[in-house]
Amino acid sequence: DTEVTQTPKHLVMGMTNKKSLKCEQHMGHRAMYWYKQKAKKPPELMFVYSYEKLSINESVPSRFSPECPNSSLLNLHLHALQPEDSALYLCASSQRIDLNYGYTFGSGTRLTVV
Amino acid sequence: GNSVTQMEGPVTLSEEAFLTINCTYTATGYPSLFWYVQYPGEGLQLLLKATKADDKGSNKGFEATYRKETTSFHLEKGSVQVSDSAVYFCALCKNSGGSNYKLTFGKGTLLTVNP
């Protein structure tokens, strides 16, 4: 299995809702990442997990809450989002955080906040 | 800090034309270099990579050579197809402090290939 699987593919949520994005990989990668991508822009790093521990938080607002329950799963919990948070949320993984072999990306969750 | 500069798009070509998308980088030491492709409505797919100077990455008819002397990693394809229409991102992976490697993207180049 050489894929990163993200669910759901599309999500529409209200500003008072609580929802979660899910990411799964079975490649034995020990580093996992959340990126946010706005239209016609490159992805922006949000969080990095290394061996299930949060390693990097790129000053992301607390309405985004990541969680890594085990080495294969990464969640992003969403609460009280704003319309400007509408974007494509990409999950990625790599063998380890201290290797420069690049990342494998999922196909993303397209989030719309209404 | 590390940065990637790629040519501004959009690029519009006819089918079977030659493609070049320029990419240059700024980084100390020896980063790994990548081209990612994003088809409409999808996530990023790794197209090719090179991990050391003079390496040539290739995939699906696309090629790029890691040129340390010019700090470049230009993407080329001899004959593009309509199905190559996508956004192409050049990226580097380099130590960002401590033992953490970070992926830094260029702004992306939109390629449209017409029949």
Q: Among A30-44, A64-78, A90-104, where is mean pLDDT lowest?
A: A90-104
- Which structure tokens are listed for B27? 């980084």
Mind listing the pLDDT tens digit for each residue in B69-95? 999 999 999 999 999 999 999 999 887
Say whether residue A88 is in contact with chain B using an 8 A CB cutoff.
yes
Residues 18-57 of A with CB under 8 A from B: 40-43, 45, 48, 55-56
Q: Between chain A and chain B, how many beta carbons pairs sit less than 8 Å apart?
A: 61
Mind listing the pLDDT tens digit for each residue in B90-104? 999 887 666 677 788
Phi and psi of A107, rounded to 5°? -85, -5
Please name the member of A55, A99, A105 whose beta carbon is closest to the beta carbon of B43: A105
pLDDT more than 90, % of chain A: 85
Instruction: With CB atoms and an 8 Å threshold, state whether A90 touches B44.
Output: yes
pLDDT number for residue B97:
64
Q: Nearest to residue A9, comparing CAs of A109, A111, A113, A112? A: A109
Residue scoring higher pLDDT (B93 or B108)? B108
**Model confidence at B55, in pLDDT bands (50, 70, 90)?**
very high
Mean residue pLDDT across chain A: 93
- Chain A residues touching B103 at Cβ < 8 A: 45, 102-103
Mean residue pLDDT across chain B: 92
Pick from B66, B101, B109 the residue to mutate for testing the A interface (most A CBs within 10 Å): B101
Say whether residue A109 is in contact with chain B using an 8 A CB cutoff.
no
pLDDT number for residue A102:
78
- Chain A residues touching B108 at Cβ < 8 A: 40-42
d(CA A57, CA A103): 18
Q: Mean pLDDT across the stretch A104-109?
A: 95
Q: Nearest to residue A99, comparing CAs of B67, B7, B32? A: B32
pLDDT number for residue B95:
72
The burial class, CB within 10 Å (0-12 / 13-18 / 19+), for A62 is exposed
Beta bridge partners of B56: B65
Q: Which residue has the tokens 């799963």?
A: A73
pLDDT number for residue B82:
97
Mind listing the pLDDT tens digit for each residue in B8-47? 889 999 999 999 999 999 988 888 999 999 998 888 999 9
- Chain B residues touching A56 at Cβ < 8 A: 100
**Residue A42 pLDDT exceeds 80:** yes
Instruction: With CB atoms and an 8 Å threshold, state whether A105 touches B45.
Output: yes
